[in-house]
Amino acid sequence: MPVISDPTQFNEEELYVDLRAALGLPLYLKCEGFNFAGSIKMKAATEMVTAAEREGRLRPGAVLVESSSGNLGVALSVIAASRGYRFLCVTDVRCNQSSVRLMEALGTRVHIIEEPDTHDGFLGARTSYVRGLCASDDRYVWLNQHANQNNWKAHFRTTAPAIAHRFPRLDVLFVGAGTTGTLMGCARWFWQWRRRVHIVAVDSVGSVSFGGPPARRMIPGLGTSVPPALLDTSYIAEVIHVEEQDTVRMCRALAARGFLFGGSTGTVVSGASEWLERQGGRPLTAVALAPDLGERYLDTVYRENWRAGLLAAPR
């Protein structure tokens, strides 16, 4: 076991779940939640903070500020606490309360946006608030995960080559689309190294990332109300949209077999399941990325009353 002095020094990169036994799917699930932030966002957060330090933007006395639906905020909270920065996370009412409490326990100040922007939803309202803060005080340093090139570079450097090393004959890779940092980092890596991998983006119904109509979304993580600045669709072979009801069902199905994953993971596995069922059983090596674990969703996705309300709501 490693001995570390900084929480960013630990991330389990080699853990995969073979879902054939649990769900009957010919799919390997790469588990990205085993680090001190509990999600894949630790990679992007570390890359962005380190780059800001290297460039001289982030110095002692600076205050980190970021818009996040939860997981990146937790990751930045871990890093800010370990490196001695103050951090303000701007989130909205859909953020899991467990994530808010976790950030606050790490010393982060959390500002919750109550109302969405008329045209750009909660993301638009959050980023507008962040821009106002930065204009009012130059101590604020906004990493801007939605446009920061180091977001995708983190996965180009780590996630994609790790998958290729473990599965040299990979046929298809399923990646959830939020900021699209993970998606673009992996897609760019396989394109650059001429690997013939079919990249499937998995998004939530109601997200506008790939041009779909906006609609209410209750599960934070994947999907967005503003087109992602990092997205380049030329690297993507296919897009699958998943209803939130199906996300919940998949999370519950995985939990029934002892695997407690988060909403983003449930969405990705649900989309992968739909795609694989259409292949008629042809032999494929398929991997999906599991961005998060399930503890932060106990009061939402895994709570029966919340689930019943979501399933009963009009689509």
Domains (ranges, CATH) in the chain?
7-35+149-310 (3.40.50.1100), 41-142 (3.40.50.1100)
Q: What's the pLDDT at 8?
A: 94
Joined tokens for residue 267: 């969405």
Q: What's the pLDDT at 306?
A: 75
Q: What's the pLDDT at 309?
A: 57
* Strand ranges (E), the chain: 16-18, 28-31, 63-67, 86-92, 109-113, 140-142, 172-176, 198-204, 238-242, 286-290
Q: What's the pLDDT at 224?
A: 82
* Strand ranges (E), 45-120: 63-67, 86-92, 109-113
Cα–Cα distance for residue pair 216/7, rounded to 1 Å: 35
Query: Identity (one letter) of the amino acid at 214?
Result: P
Burial tier of 161 (Cβ tally within 10 Å: 0-12, 13-18, 19+): middle
Q: Distance of CA 20 to CAs 149, 181, 254, 279, Å?
A: 36, 28, 12, 16
Q: What is the pLDDT of residues 185-211, one digit of tens each?
A: 999 999 998 778 999 999 999 998 998
Q: What's the pLDDT at 167?
A: 96
One digit per residue, pLDDT tens: the chain, 315 residues?
Answer: 689 999 999 999 999 999 999 999 999 999 999 999 999 999 999 999 999 999 999 988 899 999 998 899 999 999 999 999 999 999 988 888 999 999 999 999 999 988 887 887 888 899 889 999 899 998 999 999 999 999 999 999 999 999 999 999 999 999 999 999 999 999 999 999 877 899 999 999 999 899 888 888 888 778 887 889 999 999 999 999 999 999 999 999 999 999 999 999 999 999 999 999 999 878 999 999 999 999 999 988 998 877 565 545 444
